[in-house]
Amino acid sequence: QASPIRSGPYRIPQSLVNAANKELDQMLEMGIVRPSTSPWASPVVIVPKPDGNIRFCVDYRKLNRVTKMDAFPMPRKDQMLEKIAKAKFISTIDLTKGYWQIPLDDQAIPKSAFITPRFKFTVMPFGIKTAPATFQRMMRDKVLQDLESFADAYIDDVKVDTYTTFEEHMLHLREVLERLRKAKLRAKPSTCKIAKAVVDFVGHRVGRDPIKPRDAL
């Protein structure tokens, strides 16, 4: 059990302060964060995005140094892509802020605290080193169990691939969507692709054409 780690705040450029406060207000309203009196505190980093919005990040490096590693294996991207490349129909499902759909337990919440001023997460934040393995395990247990022949996920990017008919693909897709519904996991419809021959998945364009890095297109 490590002693609490409290870091001072990083400087936020004045041009990004209003956007950071707006993002924080939205997280408060959604119940993603709440005020904190925790002895733990990690600094916030505000990253501007090309579209003019921001990415609200917390620097959890010091916390990660005293956090036990979760050895749950992540899937190999190359094997996933090779499997998709042979499919006749492919659907991809993008879960909405996937990590935020996983509640933190009472012991973890104080350790997630950040300073700007002082808040803590109620859900799993980005930047915690065990987050990918935690999410991947949840997907296996609640969504992918016994569906491995046609469904897989890399964290919150879900794919369904079928090698036969459109009708069978729809059955496969319906089964995955029903599992997601039962697990109370929400998808972002605007970024989902249904029954395509070629899709973008884990940074690559893949399907009936040769696999290519998306940045090379």
Q: Where are the domains of the chain?
A: 75-104+127-200
Kindly tell me if the per-residue pLDDT of 3 is higher than 80. yes
Query: Rounded distance, CA 116 to CA 119, Å?
Result: 7
Domain 75-104+127-200 fold is Alpha-Beta Plaits (3.30.70)
pLDDT in tens, 86-120: 899 999 999 988 899 999 999 999 999 999 779 99
Helix intervals (H) in 68-165: 77-85, 131-139
pLDDT the model gives residue 122: 97
| Range in 47-61, 135-149, 155-169 with the lowest mean pLDDT | 47-61
Q: What is the pLDDT of residues 150-197, one digit of tens each?
A: 999 999 999 999 999 999 999 999 999 999 999 999 999 999 999 999
At 210 the pLDDT is 59
| Closest among 98, 96, 119, 121 to 188, alpha carbons compared | 96
Which residue, chain included where needed, has tokens 């930047």? 127
Other Cβ atoms closer than 10 A to 107: 7
Of the candidate ranges 22-31, 32-41, 76-85, 204-213, the one whose mean pLDDT is the lowest: 204-213
Residue 217 has pLDDT above 70, yes or no: no
pLDDT in tens, 73-84: 999 999 999 989
pTM for this prediction: 0.85
